[in-house]
Amino acid sequence: MIATSRKPFMAATFLLLVTLQSSSSPTTVVTTSTAANALLKWKSRLPSQSQALLSSWNKSNSDTAGLCSWKGIVCDAWQSVMGLNLVHVSINGTLRGLNFSSMPNLTMIVLVNCLLSGVILPVFSNLTKLTDLDLGLNSFSGGFPAFLGYLKSLQSLGLTDNLLKGTLPGSIAALTNLTSLNLKNNQFSGDFTSFIRLISSLPLQTLMLSSNFTGAIPSSIGKFTKLTMLYLGNNMFSGSIPSYIGSLNSLQQLYLRSNSITCHIPCTIGNMSSLVRLCVLDNQIHELRT
DSSP 69-131: TSTTEEE-TTS-EEEEEEES----S-STT--GGG-TT--EEEEESS--EEE--TTSTT-TT--
Task: Tell me the residue ranges of DSSP E strands in the chain.
Answer: 73-75, 81-87, 108-112, 117-119, 132-134, 139-142, 156-158, 163-166, 180-182, 187-191, 206-208, 212-216, 229-231, 236-239, 253-255, 260-266, 277-279, 284-289
Burial, 123: exposed, middle or buried (Cβ in 10 Å; 0-12, 13-18, 19+)? middle
Stretch among 21-25, 90-94, 101-105, 202-206 having the lowest mean pLDDT: 21-25
pLDDT tens, position by position, 248-258: 999 999 999 99
pTM beyond cutoff 0.85: yes
With 90 as the cut, is the pLDDT of residue 234 above it? yes
Length of the chain measured in residues: 290
Q: Across the chain, what does the average pLDDT equal? A: 89
Mean pLDDT, rounded, for 174-190: 96
* Separation of first and last alpha carbons in the chain: 94
Domain 31-289 matching CATH 3.80.10.10: the answer reads: yes
CB 99 within 8 A of CB 38: yes
pLDDT of residue 75: 94
- The answer to whether residues 122 and 148 touch, using CB atoms and an 8 Å cutoff, is no
Q: Which is more confident, 9 or 149?
A: 149
Residue extents of the structural domains in the chain: 31-289
d(Cα 105, Cα 250) in Å, to the nearest integer? Answer: 34
Closest Cα partner for 242 from 193, 182, 180?
A: 193
pLDDT tens, residue by residue, 39-91: 999 999 999 999 999 999 999 888 877 899 999 999 998 889 999 999 999 99
- The answer to whether 76 and 100 have CB atoms below 8 angstroms apart is no
Model confidence at 14: pLDDT above 60 = no
Residues with Cβ within 8 Å of 212's Cβ and at least 6 positions away in sequence, in order, are 187, 188, 189, 235, 236
